[in-house]
Amino acid sequence: MKMLINVPETVVADALRGMAAAHPELTVDVENRVVVRRDAPVAGKVALVSGGGSGHEPLHAGFVGPGMLSAACPGEVFTSPVPDQMVRAAAAVDSGAGVLFVVKNYTGDVLNFEMAAELAEDEGIQVAQVVVDDDVAVSDSTFTAGRRGTGATLFVEKIAGAAADEGAPLERVVSVARQVNGSSRSFGVALSAVTTPAKGSPTFDLPTGELELGIGIHGEPGRERRPMMTSGEIADFAVHAVLEDLRPTGPVLALVNGMGATPLLELYGFNAEVQRVLAERGVPVARTLVGNYVTSLDMAGCSVTLCQVDEELLRLWDAPVETPALRWGR
């Protein structure tokens, strides 16, 4: 496979150096793998720290900035960051108001963030954690006990980040983050396999003419394989799976997310089908976001995430945000 890299061993470091050059509003510690908003710590503000394996960009480092994350810890490709990274990030952004760790539900991430929380508290930093587990496709998948954390991570980081920027105390920020996670569900579809730099070839076999329904963001197996379907048929299946679990009684935020190799032309067309299905099911859509936000390197495919919102959550979603990958209202 052709890749725009030097050698696999330096992919993450090279990307962080490039990010630092493109975004002077961030402090990027390439050696220690920590990305921090340059004005941190912000006096009196709860700090949000997240992280995970690289390869899902712009998640998480692309969401560091006012209105969202205070810091992010990128691990190696599809590999959890280590506790030392998380402790370093927490120390860099803690203002004394506490730190919230936003953790996707993968075993390595959960264990390492739990260890980091203990170490940070030993250093006098108050830490709380919220685990994101929104994927309805399967339970107890590869690397996961329970449901996987996917697209809802963006909703949690944005909405809880807005609450923190408004000066909400740690208990309130945690409550908002848990409400968003509990109100969100996702479902992903793969049209092609993912290729990691270290392997240099597809990590699983997905024959031409087939797709995987319920794929994970690391290429974990989904619910089933089928012959290729139309955009409308995929939307029918994916949205039905989400709604059968979420059963919303009010308006939703909709995220139509690309897995990394699907162009916007296709994603917007798929969004039209998602909106059709939601209208047929009588689900009002308050806001829609379309693009590549929680990716899987070069995987072709998409995911749908819905989050039921009340007036307060919608207000926090609309609040100003200024990060490399998400910005409005400033």
Q: What is the pLDDT of residues 250-289, one digit of tens each?
A: 999 999 999 999 999 999 999 999 999 999 999 999 999 9
How high is the pLDDT of residue 145? Answer: 77
How high is the pLDDT of residue 140? Answer: 72
Helices (H), the chain: 11-22, 83-93, 107-122, 152-165, 170-182, 231-246, 264-280, 311-318
- Does the predicted model carry a pTM greater than 0.75? yes
How high is the pLDDT of residue 203? Answer: 87
How high is the pLDDT of residue 139? Answer: 81
CATH code of the domain covering residue 79: 3.40.50.10440
- Regarding whether 197 and 81 lie in a shared domain, the answer is no
Q: Which of 23, 56, 60, 240 is catalytic?
A: 56
Domain boundary (134, 156, 182) is at: 182
> Is the separation of the CB atoms in 42 and 50 below 8 Å?
no
Count of structural domains, the chain: 2
Is 62 among the domain residues? yes
Pairing relationship of beta strands 184-190 and 210-213 according to DSSP bridges:
antiparallel
Would the pLDDT of 142 be above 80? Answer: no
Give the orientation angle of helix 83-93 with respect to helix 107-122, to 10 degrees: 50
Q: How confident is the model at residue 229 (pLDDT cuts 50, 70, 90)?
A: very high
How high is the pLDDT of residue 93? Answer: 98
- Regarding whether 145 and 203 lie in a shared domain, the answer is no
- Regarding whether 206 and 176 lie in a shared domain, the answer is no
Query: For 300-329, what is each residue's pLDDT tens digit?
Result: 999 999 999 999 999 999 999 999 999 999
Is 2 among the domain residues? no
- Regarding whether 224 and 85 lie in a shared domain, the answer is no
- Regarding whether 253 and 175 lie in a shared domain, the answer is no
How high is the pLDDT of residue 158? Answer: 99
Is 4 among the domain residues? no
Would the pLDDT of 75 be above 90? Answer: yes
Query: Could you tell me what percent of the chain has a pLDDT over 70?
Result: 99
214-222: average pLDDT: 94
Would the pLDDT of 1 be above 90? Answer: no
How high is the pLDDT of residue 35? Answer: 98
CATH code of the domain covering residue 249: 3.30.1180.20
**Spatial strand order in the sheet of 26-29:** 26-29, 34-37, 71-77, 47-54, 99-104, 127-132
Would the pLDDT of 19 be above 80? Answer: yes
- Regarding whether 74 and 44 lie in a shared domain, the answer is yes
Chain-centroid distance of CA 115 in Å reads: 21
Helix or strand (DSSP H, E) at 79: none
Would the pLDDT of 176 be above 80? Answer: yes
- Regarding whether 143 and 36 lie in a shared domain, the answer is yes
How high is the pLDDT of residue 330? Answer: 77
Active site residue 240: no
How high is the pLDDT of residue 38? Answer: 97
Would the pLDDT of 50 be above 80? Answer: yes
Would the pLDDT of 222 be above 80? Answer: yes
Return the minimum-mean-pLDDT range out of 16-30, 39-53, 135-149, 280-294: 135-149
97-117: average pLDDT: 97
- Regarding whether 61 and 20 lie in a shared domain, the answer is yes
For residue 313, the enclosing domain spans 184-323
How high is the pLDDT of residue 26? Answer: 98
Q: Which of 23, 60, 218, 240 is catalytic?
A: 218
CA distance 219 to 216: 5
Would the pLDDT of 213 be above 80? Answer: yes
